């Protein structure tokens, strides 16, 4: 699996602008040069784990939102927002059934499951 640094950088830029930060301000907060942050946002520079964690915390976004990790163009994460939306109007019985089914799916190898689902 490869990380699309241009896509990650774009998500960082989008989150930064949404929070009203300039590159200079965010860079100062996370102790990074503004030029390096610019390179990260444009996908030119790779980003370290400590840096992306600091950015996520500062911008109040999840790592899942910034990384958007995918296998064969399918996201491998279900965000907390998506889970909240799914479970919000469920009865206790429905929630228990969904949790049970998720536990069954968890037993499958994710890559193999996605590969097989694309063959159908």
Mean pLDDT of 79-107: 83
Which DSSP symbol is given to 90? -
Residue position matching structure tokens 């784990």: 49
Q: Which residues of 20-41 are buried (b: 16+ CB within 10 A; e: fewer)?
A: ebebeebbeebebeeeebbbbb
pLDDT surpasses 60 at 70: no
pLDDT in tens, 79-88: 667 778 888 8
Mean pLDDT of 65-77: 61
**Cα(39)–Cα(27) distance, rounded to whole angstroms?**
12
Residue position matching structure tokens 């890559």: 111
Where in the chain are the domains?
5-68, 73-119
pLDDT in tens, 12-36: 999 999 999 999 999 999 999 999 9
Model confidence, pTM: 0.60
At residue 107, the pLDDT reads: 72
CATH architecture for segment(s) 5-68: Orthogonal Bundle (1.10)
Mean pLDDT of 109-115: 65
């Amino acid at each position: 699996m490869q990380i699309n640094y241009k896509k990650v950088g774009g998500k960082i830029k989008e989150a930064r602008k949404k929070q009203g930060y300039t590159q200079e301000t965010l860079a100062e907060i996370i102790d990074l040069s503004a030029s390096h942050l610019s390179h990260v946002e444009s996908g030119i520079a790779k980003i370290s784990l400590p840096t992306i964690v600091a950015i996520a915390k500062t911008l109040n976004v999840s790592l899942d939102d910034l990384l958007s990790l995918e296998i064969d163009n399918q996201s491998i994460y279900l965000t907390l927002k998506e889970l909240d939306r799914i479970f919000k109007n469920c009865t206790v019985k429905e929630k228990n059934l969904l949790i049970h089914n998720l536990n069954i799916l968890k037993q499958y190898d994710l890559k193999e499951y996605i590969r097989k689902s694309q063959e159908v």
